[in-house]
A and B are shown apart, each in its own frame.
Chain A
Amino acid sequence: MQDNKPFIDLVPPESAKGPRKVLYDDLERIRGAGQISNLFRAYGAFPELGQANFDRLNILLEKGTLSSRLKEAVMTALAVINHCDYCVSFHGTQMLQSGASHEEIQGARDFDPDRIGLCDKERALFEYAMKANGDAHSIQFSDVANCKQLGATDSELVEILETVNTGNAFNTFAGALNVGADDFLTYAMDEYYAKHGRDEV
């Protein structure tokens, strides 16, 4: 079982001051009371970067035209690839909230776009995202043309690639700082606790 102690101080909301408190307040305003994730508590060590990344995440999730299910499925798959158990639970929870079933989440965990409940365009973009993550320089014009033939726009190609970037960045952050899962997550927490124990941050 891995040690659960994070490698930096995750300041609780009641002790937050200054720019860190501004960041926490913004998280609760947008996500709801008690929804300050451990990832963003870690970002609180550099609140300006935390704010910039939260703004970027909100643009990705709220301003794009691709479905939440697709973007969360990509981030769930990336979490599996990056061995980020926290991120699997986080994005699995987000998939549940977007209406996905446990079987569809498992489809994302198995890198199988045919089992996630996606339309043809989204299935192609899921594959494009996996290929971009695995070996971006192996992508050919035909890969992009295939997505476009199914209706993907230039904006959506940028949106899915930014989903890959964001997922990987957060996975790296959570892993390298040993940030544990949030107590408000609902997906695969038994699996998470079996690996990491319950004495969380």
Chain B
Amino acid sequence: MTSLITDLTETVVFDLKVNSEAAVIVKFQSESCVICKKIEPFLLAVAKQLSGQVHLGDVDVEKNEKLVSRYQIRGLPTLILFNRGREISRRYGFQTGGMLRAWLGQDLP
């Protein structure tokens, strides 16, 4: 994980970050999920292009079952866009830069 993606695996850290920001994409992932790693350069590029409008975080699902249950995570990677703690929408599986831009273009607050 790069330093531009905040580790939100701890519930306290997750709640603090997700509730305080206008737009956070959280990637629910695991260490063994190859696609979860492959999506990372695309997330970073899109976030950079949006210059601070959206923050990135990730949650290791193998280390926090509480968040997995709270958000009903059924597969990896699952990306959830939050606005001050409220889920706006989610995407599942690999996403290209174009798919991410279309998603955020539609749903970014």
Contact = CB atoms under 8 A, between A and B. Distances in A.
A74 to B, nearest CB: 12
Nearest to A126: B98
Interface in B67-93: 93
A123 B35 CA distance: 23
Given A80-B41, A110-B48, A111-B42, A138 B93 contact: yes
A131 B97 contact: no
Contacts of A25: none
Nearest to B101: A112
A111 B45 contact: yes
A134 B97 contact: no
B92 to A, nearest CB: 10
A185 interface: no
Instruction: Pick the most buried of A81, A111, A135: most chain B CB atoms within 10 A of its CB.
Output: A111
Contact of A134 (B48, B49, B96): B96
Interface of A: 80-81, 109-114, 123, 126-127, 130-131, 133-135, 138
